[in-house]
């Protein structure tokens, strides 16, 4: 039986594969593929951009600028390894350029534009990426354990159950649960090296 996280991972892989297929088709000159790439990513970029600025019109213009640049310089996409990261970084850079330009041209106050620090956004993105990688690593490590070891460790560390609760749930005595957890943790340390 698949869990919700497994379904999400399968959907992400399918979406990533679709993105790669569309990107390759676009690089070969397929305008329909470009349109689909736009449709698949415009809302994601808008949501991300709302964390960078409260100026919705500026944000929409910058998103369109990112796609126009992508369309006119599609040969540069051959060097892109992570397309979504490319879009996020392009949008952030475009917004920063526009904010700087507006500040320079109009001498407007920074508060009027409501920018959010680009460093904060980049750090948040990198933190989410680290969490994603760590979650995958934890899942991989837990998969190396026996089902009973995995259950005991999940109950204790993730669900924050007390040993007494774990004993009842797993229908085991206290010392057996302690031994099971100790063997599980020892195995994880060995695997993680």
The answer on 90 and 41 residing in a single domain is yes
The answer on 131 and 87 residing in a single domain is no
4 domain residue, yes or no: no
The answer on 87 and 41 residing in a single domain is yes
What separation, in Å, do the N-terminal and C-terminal C-alpha atoms of the chain show? Answer: 31
- Could you tell me the pTM of the whole model? 0.49
116 domain residue, yes or no: no
| Domain final position from 73, 105, 137 | 105
Show Cβ contacts of residue 10 under 8 Å, excluding neighbours closer than 6 positions: 2
| Domain final position from 56, 74, 105 | 105
The answer on 71 and 153 residing in a single domain is no
Show Cβ contacts of residue 121 under 8 Å, excluding neighbours closer than 6 positions: 51, 52, 92
41 domain residue, yes or no: yes
120 domain residue, yes or no: no
77 domain residue, yes or no: yes
Q: What total of structural domains would you count in the chain? A: 2
The answer on 19 and 88 residing in a single domain is yes
| Domain final position from 105, 140, 174 | 105
Give the CATH number for residue 77: 1.10.1740
3 domain residue, yes or no: no
pLDDT truncated to tens, each residue of the chain (193 aa)? Answer: 545 555 545 555 566 677 778 878 888 888 888 889 889 889 988 988 888 888 889 989 999 998 898 888 877 777 777 778 788 888 888 888 888 887 766 554 444 445 555 566 667 767 777 787 777 877 888 888 898 898 888 888 887 889 998 898 889 999 999 999 999 999 988 887 7
Give the CATH number for residue 181: 1.10.10.10
The answer on 101 and 35 residing in a single domain is yes
The Cα angle at residue 124 between residues 120 and 129, in degrees rounded to 5? 150
Q: What range defines the domain where residue 51 resides?
A: 10-105
85 domain residue, yes or no: yes
Q: Which of 102, 100, 69 is nearest to 87 (CA)?
A: 69
Alpha-carbon distance of 116 to 98, in angstroms, equals: 13
């Amino acid at each position: 039986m698949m869990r919700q996280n497994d379904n999400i991972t399968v959907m992400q892989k399918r979406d990533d594969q679709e993105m790669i297929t569309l990107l390759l088709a676009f690089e070969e000159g397929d305008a329909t593929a470009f349109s689909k790439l736009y449709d698949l990513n415009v809302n994601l970029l808008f949501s991300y951009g709302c964390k960078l600025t409260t100026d919705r019109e500026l944000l929409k213009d910058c998103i369109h600028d990112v796609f126009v640049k992508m369309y006119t310089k599609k040969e540069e996409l051959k060097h892109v390894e992570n397309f979504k990261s490319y879009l996020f970084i392009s949008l952030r850079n475009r917004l920063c350029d526009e904010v700087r330009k507006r500040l320079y041209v109009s001498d407007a106050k920074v508060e009027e534009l409501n920018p959010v620090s680009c460093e904060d956004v980049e750090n948040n993105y990198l933190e989410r990426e680290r969490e994603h990688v760590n979650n995958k690593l934890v899942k991989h490590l837990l998969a190396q354990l026996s089902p009973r070891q995995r259950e005991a460790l999940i109950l204790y560390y993730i669900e924050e159950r007390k040993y007494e609760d774990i004993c009842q749930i797993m229908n085991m005595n206290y010392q057996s649960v302690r031994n099971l957890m100790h063997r599980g943790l020892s195995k994880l340390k060995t695997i993680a090296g």
